[in-house]
Structure 1
Amino acid sequence: MKTTFTYDHYADYAELTTRMVYFSEHYPNYTRLTSLGKTPEGRDLWAMEVTDLRCGDFDEKPAQHIDGNTHAGEVTGSMAALHQLDVLLTGCEEPRIARLLQAYTFTFIPRISPDGAEVYLKTPDTLRSVNRPSGKAQSGVVRQDLDQDGVIRWMRIPDETGAWTADAEEPRLLRRRRPDETDGVFYTVMPEGLLQGESGDLLKAAPARWGLDFNRNYPCWWRPEQPGAGDYPLDNPETRAVAEFLIAHPNVGVMVTHHTSGGMILNPPGPFSEAEQDPLDRSIYHAIGALATEEMGYPLLNLYDGFHCTESDYAAGAGDDWAYLNRGIFAVTAELWDLQSRAGISVEEQLEPELSDAERLRQQKLTLAWIDAHCPQAWKPWTPLEHPQLGQVEIGGLDYKFTIQNCPPAYLREECEKATRFALRQVCLLPRLAIMRFQAQPLGHNFVKVTAEIVNRGYLPTWISRQRQAMKLTEPVQIELTGAEILQGQAQGEIEALEGYGQDQTELSFSGVYGQTAALRRKLEWVVRAPAGTRVQLNIRCAQAGQASASCVID
């Protein structure tokens, strides 16, 4: 895929801004760059809309929304969003991309948490969404880069009462000490860091310094007791800006929110099983998932069912759930990067809620073998260090941030290209209004019969989803006929919604053809009075399906 910028490293805020401004300045006929506001640390929350403005304005076409970096450390997601933006604009004159830009609008918020991502990229720290509130420091071992190698790893402390020992087959890894094991070298394990506060006779890892989770802050089944949910829905300026942006763009019908990791595509609903979902919407999600699997190799999983949730234990307040359940948008979460799958660990094994010690060690061995073969620099051998509080310890392990949570930079372009290929197919599901035929037939004495055939060329219906209908957010298909005195028929009005070809119910088999086609076309008729040479025009529009116009001259 042709791009202007390289995708072999992770862009910080300054570079991300440079790229967005570059695209805005070099492609004025395609882009609109907007700051959705300033973060608490003064960074712009950038959004960009992209379409071929020669073929209609941003709000005149059905739209796809792409975002990333809801979670600060999931920087692969922001790069995937930037990559799709780059591919669209760099290739805007290539036939396939030109057709997409003529037909659709694309909206991008590449980095929802610029403050959090900056901490992640420029310090050894990890954090969920954002570096606030600062709060009080917690007691325990506070994660810190003691050996100044830029990475916070594992720390093992020689301890004859320790619960861990080196595995005989792979001594770089630790296994849990067996109940009857008395001979050997044993360790207590902690994150690399310093002791802070009072912890008595226990060593414990201090709770995370920052706990806010933007993906628990949306007003959809929000639960205040859930960690990271915030004080109330959308109390973070970043999540509020995203919600307001989507509300202001009713033409958005499909959406990909890029996260990491695991190599899977997650579809709402998250608060309940997809068995309770509308069957049509469920089938459309499965169709979207099939595209993702074809392009990315990642399976589709329902959020609730795939993660073994229960009525009392499920992810609430998620952005994709809000987009679907509250706005009727077919949103999916792309969990990019699949080190475990590449290492031979299936998605089902990854999601197993309770792993035995033996199974956990087996998976770690497979992961380490992959790292040895593909990015050995990510692993640090156990190295002695004199700890200022604990005495002699050893620091070692992998660079979690850029092996597990994000792909090693050498794999970044490949991951971005997979995400872009999927997204450029997903957008094609959107409904698209068209006027297939518009004719005027003189009846004599300046009476004229005008006929039109309106069609939806898309896979999705003009109402997008049953969920959008349930939320009463669908706008009708509006028609307007101008240029002549109308004697029969409406000059302005609404017509019944149009299905897409994805709702075709015919079945084809060797024994015959059954069922019925989708109701994706409407025939309209007027009688008007106008002399020969008069031009009449038909305009149709729908917020979710775009607009079209046609004209003809009366003979």
Structure 2
Amino acid sequence: MKKIFLYTIPFLLCATVNAQDPNQVFKAAGTPVNPKVQASWNRYYDHAGITALCKKIASAYPELVKLTSLGKSYAGRDLWCLTITDFKKGNELTKPGMYIDGNIHSNEIQGAEFALYTAWYLSESFADTKFIQELLADKVFYIVPSINPDGRDSYMHQPNTSSSPRSGVKPVDNDGDGLVNEDWYDDLDGDGHITMMRRKSIHGRYKTDPKDPRNMLLAGTDEQGDYELLGMEGIDNDGDGRVNEDGYAFEYDPNRDWGWGWQPNYIQNGAYKYPFSIPENRAIMEFVMKHPNIAAAQSYHNAGGMILRGPGASADISTYNSQDVAIYDAIAKKGEELMPGYKYLVVYKDLYSAYGGELDWFYAGRGIYTYSN
């Protein structure tokens, strides 16, 4: 399994995705010279774009790629999975497998492009790269570009803040009145974004940014402020005297829904009703349970420069036995060498305690070596 990891971790994390002209076919480093599937890697794809690209890859390389839907999201979008191996060389279920997903948090969209690029690169490079021929002869990749397609499309197409939504779109009764989403944020100026409201006030502590009057700066201690901030854009839609109370006071976190070390919301913020109560995660769980050949996994988030493993909580330290930790360490240390600036970290020790995370269910629940980046 080291062979898979040492190939995949540095390869994916060294890729770049830039927001340039979406109509330009941007050739990332290592791009095959004459790819059958023309794909641009200077843009982000919504669910329709992901679907189209997945279908093109599968159609161009039927001997290497099979496209299936693992199930439906809450809003009915397909959870696409690209199974990639040399199907002429044995049964895929008898080959050691690596599972890759991205975009579990809807505002962390980059992971889908990293996953898609992997699928595209493996299939396009197979014909003239001996290493990939050997890799796909006796290994199989299961690549799910987005495991939160509803949240992804909401983030890309609906008015949102810079970090919302983080969850999916399953309605939640935030204010406990028996109704859902009846007093959400409102894009009052119609610019496609949810931003802070302000008003002039002699008691204000903010002033406009001279470089961009749309921005607010905190006035100095010896300065007179001109504005006060009123919160995110919105009005009292349900007439109860409160504004935006069904906004993001609570969002379920798809990465706190997994069936290992799960804790309810009063202990683990973002936990939903019970483990695998989110339909997207349940579909992934059922797929993994049916594929005991999966021995390695990678979940792509965004930013941070991390090669991250579990456990999420100190109570699970003993779950990660010393022999497995030695393997984790060896692979991640090699990743640090190959990717300057990336650090090998452990969730509970180097970040925070997290219960019900995907990392822990894959490893502790299924024995699968798993990293997040």
- Interval of TM-score (by shorter of Structure 1 and Structure 2): 0.7 to 0.9
Q: Establish whether residue 322 from structure 1 lines up as the match of residue 361 from structure 2.
A: yes
Corresponding residue number in structure 2 for 1:143: 185
Where does residue 224 of structure 2 map in the other structure?
A: 184
Sort the Cα spacing of 1:166 and 1:230 in 2 relative to 1 into closer, same or farther, 3 A.
Answer: same
Are 2:106 and 2:151, in contact at CA under 8 Å, matched by a contact in 1?
Answer: yes
Query: Quick check: 1:39–1:237 contact (8 Å CA) kept in 2?
Result: yes
| CA separation of 1:207 and 1:43: change in aligned 2, threshold 3 A | closer
Does the 8 A contact of 2:257 with 2:272 survive in 1? yes
Following superposition, the deviation at residue 218 of structure 1 comes to 0.6
Instruction: Flag the 1:218–1:61 CA change in 2: closer, same or farther, 3 A.
Output: same
Give the counterpart of 2:155 among 120, 129, 132.
120
Give the deviation of 1:216 after TM superposition. Answer: 0.8
SS at structure 2 position matched to 1:150: coil
Partner of 2:9: none
| Deviation readout 1:443-480 (Å, 9 max, x if unpaired) | xxxxxxxxxxxxxxxxxxxxxxxxxxxxxxxxxxxxxx
Q: Aligned AA for 1:106?
A: F
1:163–1:211 Cα change, 3 Å: same
Distance 1:238 1:131 in 2: 11
Task: Give 1:24's match in structure 2, choosing from 58, 75, 88.
Answer: 58
Alpha carbons of 1:328 and 1:163: their partners in 2 closer, same or farther (altered >3 Å)? farther
2:337 is aligned to 294
Matched, 1:306 2:346: no
1:51 match:
85
Instruction: Tell me the percent identity.
Output: 32
**Whole-Å Cα distance in 2 between the matches of residues 305 and 118 of structure 1?**
33
Q: Do the aligned residues in 2 keep the contact of 1:152 with 1:191 (CA within 8 Å)?
A: no
* CA distance, structure 1, for counterparts of residue 148 and residue 41 of structure 2: 20
Give the CA deviation at 1:190: 4.5
1:132 paired with 2:170, answer yes
After superposition, the Cα gap between the structure-2 partners of 1:190 and 1:294, relative to the gap in structure 1 and judged at 3 Å, is farther
Q: Check if 1:67 corresponds to 2:111.
A: no
Matched AA of 2:261: W
Q: Aligned pair 1:262/2:304, yes or no?
A: yes
Q: Distance in 2 between matches of 1:124 and 1:293?
A: 38
- Name which of 271, 276, 285 aligns with 1:229: 271
Distance in 2 between residues matched to 1:205 and 1:188, nearest whole Å: 20
RMSD of the alignment, in Å? Answer: 2.9
Distance in 1, Cα, partners of 2:203 & 2:243: 13
More deviation, 14-23/147-156: 147-156
Deviation of 1:243 (Å): 0.9
C-alpha contact 1:324 1:330 (8 A) present in aligned 2: yes
- What is the identity, as a one-letter code, of the residue corresponding to 1:320? L
Counterpart contact for 2:205–2:224, Cα < 8 Å:
no
Kindly indicate whether the alpha-carbon contact (under 8 Å) linking 1:130 and 1:210 is maintained by their aligned counterparts in 2.
no
* 246-255 or 186-195: bigger deviation: 186-195
Match of 2:326 in 1: 283
Q: What SS class does the counterpart of residue 323 from structure 1 fall into? A: helix
> Is structure 2 residue 162 aligned with structure 1 residue 109?
no
* Aligned-pair CA distance for 1:287: 2.0
* Correspondence for 2:10: none
Any stretches of 5+ residues in structure 2 without a counterpart?
1-29, 174-178
Secondary structure of 1:254's match? Answer: strand
Change (3 A) 1:280 1:160: farther
TM-score (norm 2): 0.78
The alpha carbon displacement at 1:259 in A equals 0.9
Q: Is the 8 A contact 2:234 2:243 kept in 1?
A: no
Structure 1 pair 243/139, CA: closer, same or farther in 2 (3 Å)? closer
- After superposition, the C-alpha distances for 1:346-371 in whole angstroms (9 at most, x for unaligned) are xxxxxxxxxxxxxxxxxxxxxxxxxx
Task: Give 5+ residue unaligned stretches, structure 1.
Answer: 335-555
Aligned residue for 1:194?
234
- Is 2:274 the partner of 1:239? no
From the two aligned structures, give the one with the greater strand fraction: 1
Question: What one-letter code is carried by the residue in structure 2 that aligns with 1:48?
Answer: L
Structure 2 distance, partners of 1:153, 1:296, is 36
**2:136 counterpart of 1:96:** no
Task: Give the superposition deviation at 1:278.
Answer: 2.4
Q: Which has the higher contact order (CA 8 A, sep 6+)?
A: 2
Following superposition, the deviation at residue 38 of structure 1 comes to: 2.1
Please point out which of 61, 64, 80 is paired with 2:114. Answer: 80
Distance change in 2, residues 1:24/1:138 (3 Å): closer
Give distance in 2, aligned partners of 1:176 and 1:243. Answer: 51
1:332 alignment partner in structure 2: 371
Alignment partner of 1:2 is 2:31? yes
Q: Aligned partners of 1:56, 1:174: CA distance in 2, in Å?
A: 63
**Is the 1:167–1:175 Cα contact (8 Å) retained in structure 2?**
no
| Distance change in 2, residues 1:275/1:222 (3 Å) | closer
Deviation at 1:80, TM superposition (A): 0.8
Q: State the Cα deviation string for residues 292-313 of structure 1 (Å, max 9, x = none).
A: 3234432111100111x3xxxx
Q: Which moved more, 1:283-292 or 1:73-82?
A: 283-292
Structure 2 distance, partners of 1:48, 1:73, is: 23
In structure 2, distance between residues paired with 1:121 and 1:74: 11
Secondary structure of 2:198 counterpart: strand
Q: Deviations over 1:404-429 (max 9, x none)?
A: xxxxxxxxxxxxxxxxxxxxxxxxxx
Closer/same/farther in 2, CA of residues 108 and 207 from structure 1, 3 Å limit: same
Kindly indicate whether the alpha-carbon contact (under 8 Å) linking 2:234 and 2:244 is maintained by their aligned counterparts in 1. no
Based on CA coordinates, which of the two structures has the bigger radius of gyration?
1
Conserved 8 A contact 1:137-1:209: no
8 A Cα contact 1:218 1:319, kept in partner:
yes
